[in-house]
Amino acid sequence: MSGVITDSSEVLIHFEIKLKDGSVAESTQASGQPVKFRLGDGSLTPQFEKCLIGLAVGEKARFELAPEDAFGMPNPDNIQHFSRTQFGADVEPEVGTIMAFSGPDGGEIPGVITDVTGDSVTVDFNHPLSGVDIIFDVDIVEILA
C-alpha cells in the first residue's frame, strides 16, 4: 500500500460532481458507498486522474474542470434521428426521457430524447455533462494498491 495515489493506484474514494451553480450532478455521498477506481484503466479522463495523483488517505480536495478536461464537448455525431415507428407501440417518446438503446457491440447506451416532431425522434447520446464546467470534490478513503 502506497502513501499517496500514483498513476497506477487502485483507490476507494467518495466524490461529488457539482455544477457551477452548486447543484449536485452525481455523488457517492448520497448512497454512502465509495467507489473503486484503477488509475490508468481508461475509466476516468486523464484530467480526473491528474487531480487524484499525489493525494493521500483522508485527504479531501476540490478541483474545477473545464468541459474538455471533464466529460468533453458535445459531439454532433452523437445526435441521432429515429422514426417514431422504431419505438415499440407501447412506448411514447417524450422530450427529456432517458432511454437505453442497443449499441453496436450489443451493450446498452443511454440516450436523451431531445425532440419529437411528427414521426421524427431526436436522441442525444452525448454524456449529459458534456460541454459543462464542473467542480469535482473528492475524499480519499483508501489506497488499495
CATH of the domain at 83: 2.40.10.330
Cβ-based neighbour number of residue 69 at 10 Å = 18
Is the pLDDT at 35 greater than 90, yes or no? yes
Is the pLDDT at 106 greater than 90, yes or no? no
pLDDT at 3: 87
Average pLDDT over residues 56-72: 93
CATH number for the domain that contains residue 37:
3.10.50.40
Residue 3 lies in a domain: no
The residue whose grid cell reads 489506497 is 143
| Percentage, residues of the chain above pLDDT 90 | 59
- When the pLDDT of each residue in the chain is averaged and rounded to a whole number, the result is 90
The boundaries of the domain holding residue 51 are 10-72+129-143
Domain count, the chain: 2
pLDDT at 31: 84
Task: Say if residues 79 and 114 touch (Cβ distance below 8 Å).
Answer: yes
pLDDT at 30: 81
Is the pLDDT at 1 greater than 60, yes or no? no
Does residue 52 come out as left (phi exceeding 0), alpha (psi in the -120 to 50 range) or beta? alpha
In this structure, what are the phi and psi dihedrals at residue 58, rounded to the nearest 5 degrees? 90, -10
Does residue 54 come out as left (phi exceeding 0), alpha (psi in the -120 to 50 range) or beta? left
